[in-house]
Structure 1
Amino acid sequence: MKKEKTQDCITERIEGKSSHNEHFISLNDINELHQAKPAILLHSCCGPCSTAVVERLSGTYDITIFFYNPNITDEEEYQRRKSAQIEFIEKYNSRKDSKDRLAFLEGPYEPSVFYQSVCGLEAEPEGGRRCTVCFQQRLEKTAEIACISGFDTFTTTLTVSPHKNFDLIYKLGMNLGMRYGLTFLGEDFKKRAGYQRSIELSREYQLYRQNYCGCEFSKNNSK
């Protein structure tokens, strides 16, 4: 995607445009926070998965959550998951001092791009080549935004799920890190009971928790 369009998606983040802004910090504030802790751009697949990752990283990094998931092909479901993500951030930030709060960026909602990317792979089993393309798409957009926004490090919540192949995600992330001149934090967040912790925290924060990954193909496989 061209830089101009990518920057548009940054400026469309939630910042002073709704009642959500009370517990959010903006990109303009991130430079000040960098002085205390290094910044990381965290791609989030959903609010529930982000809970355990934020808990694990918050002592080391200033975290900006990047919600970019064109694979959620049902728009109503997308909005529901985005709302759960925002709900978590608001509740989390309400418990924290300003220096420890999360920032939020939303990428463009473009399911048509996802469909184009996986054309011909519709019949692939869950966890197959279609998923590889999906991981690549989301991680690459995260790397693009990280590069443009001045982050040195990026990572993803995808490895929280026991259904996601860490070795594959690690390889994709490392390759993108080299391409964009960034550090990919390749941590398997499901380890050390990370997945179980995400369930516990989702209950604590009373978040909507979906029962399928996102695309219509994964939804059909979950039935």
Structure 2
Amino acid sequence: MSERSIIPPPNGENRVLLHSCCAPCTGEIMEALLASGIDYTVFFYNPNIHPRDEYEIRKEENKRFAEKYQVPFVDADYDSDNWFARTKGMEFEPERGIRCTACFDMRLERSALYAHENGFKVFTSSLGISRWKNFQQVNDCGIRAAESYPDLMYWTYNWRKKGGSQRMIDIAKNERFYQQGYCGCVHSLRETNRWRKKNGRELIKIGVEYYEYSETGDFKS
């Protein structure tokens, strides 16, 4: 269990809705919240993930970890058709560009709605802990989503700090989480496989690789 201390949620609140993108990114945040005595619920809403098999694996990994610590887990709808409609015309935009903004907006707007309808005053997301994401871009989307509800605030805490990034990797290895080789959407899968092919690496195989320790304790992919 993580022992790192985190600042309390804003406005003295102790109940938080945590939007989760996946188990590897969320594991450290979940442990830190538990260690800090913060009451929270995991909200899994990621219609961007493609294909459906990949979505189910990522969801079940996160659900398994939540059940380990008896943390409430909300399995939201996989409305991928809406995601494709929302990002239409952005298929070849670069990572961290306008497509990612639209994607974050959609996921955090749905999280904000759930928080509002279920009495949460604060919500946050695991999206910002990944070094592959633009932290400010994620926070801007979260703040924008919260603005629709006067009683709701997006918690912009930087989960990467105080060893959070390294602890995230350690938990992923110890729990042997599914190792995602791309962001999640069909466009990131396309571009990742294009890069792998160009650099002589195998294309991504769904549901094959997991984080783990080797006999020497070194990381193996």
TM-score by length of 1: 0.77
Q: Distance in 1 between matches of 2:84 and 2:147?
A: 27
Asked whether the equivalents of residues 126 and 221 of structure 1 are also in contact (C-alpha less than 8 Å), the reply is no
Higher mean Cα deviation, 118-127 or 196-205? Answer: 196-205
Residue 81 of structure 1 contacts residue 208 of structure 1 at CA under 8 Å; is this kept in 2? yes
| 1:155 match | 124
Aligned residues: 179
Corresponding residue for 2:168? 198
Aligned to 2:202: none
Query: Residue 43 of structure 2 aligns with which residue?
Result: 66
Q: Are 1:183 and 2:153 matched, yes or no?
A: yes
Instruction: Identify the residue that residue 50 of structure 1 maps to in structure 2.
Output: 26
Q: Mark the structure with the bigger radius of gyration.
A: 2
Please tell me whether residue 138 in structure 1 is matched to residue 83 in structure 2.
Answer: no
> Deviation of residue 195 (structure 1)?
2.3
Corresponding residue number in structure 2 for 1:211: 181
Amino acid in the other structure paired with 1:215: C
Decide which of 113, 120, 128 is 2:82's aligned counterpart. Answer: 113
Give the match's secondary structure for 2:110. helix
Contact 1:44 1:68 survives alignment (8 Å) = yes
1:75 maps onto 2:44 in alignment: no
* Greater helix proportion: 1
Q: Partner of 2:67: helix, strand, or coil?
A: helix
Aligned match for 1:87, one of 54, 57, 64: 64
Alignment partner, residue 169 of structure 1 = 138
Whichever residue aligns with residue 59 of structure 2, its letter is K
Deviations 1:112-138 (A, max 9, x none): 111001000001011111000000000
Distance 2:156 2:37 in 1: 15
> What secondary structure, in the 3-state scheme, does the structure 1 residue paired with 2:89 have?
coil
The equivalent of 2:207 in structure 1 is: none
Q: TM-score, normalised by structure 2?
A: 0.77
Distance in 2 (alpha carbons) for counterparts of 1:72 and 1:90: 22
* CA distance in 1 between partners of 2:44 and 2:101 (Å): 18
Query: C-alpha displacement at 1:54, in angstroms?
Result: 1.1
Deviations 1:96-115 (A, max 9, x none): xxxxx411101100111110
Change (3 A) 1:174 1:60: farther
* SS of the residue 1:63 aligns to: strand
SS in 1 for 2:49: coil
> Please, which runs of 5 or more residues in structure 1 have no aligned partner?
1-36, 94-100
In 1, distance between residues paired with 2:40 and 2:180?
24
- Are the equivalent residues in 1 in contact too, given 2:129–2:165 (CA < 8 A)? yes
Residues 115 and 123, structure 2, Cα contact 8 Å, conserved in 1: yes
Aligned match of 1:17: none
Q: Which has the higher contact order (CA 8 A, sep 6+)?
A: 1
SS, match of residue 179 in structure 1: coil
Q: What code does the residue aligned with 2:144 have?
A: N
Do 1:87 and 1:207's aligned partners in 2 also have CA atoms closer than 8 Å?
A: no
Q: How far is 1:154 from its partner?
A: 0.2
Report runs of 4+ in structure 1 exceeding 3 Å deviation.
Answer: none
Give 3-state SS (helix, strand or coil) of 1:105's partner: strand
Give the secondary structure class of the aligned counterpart of 2:148: helix
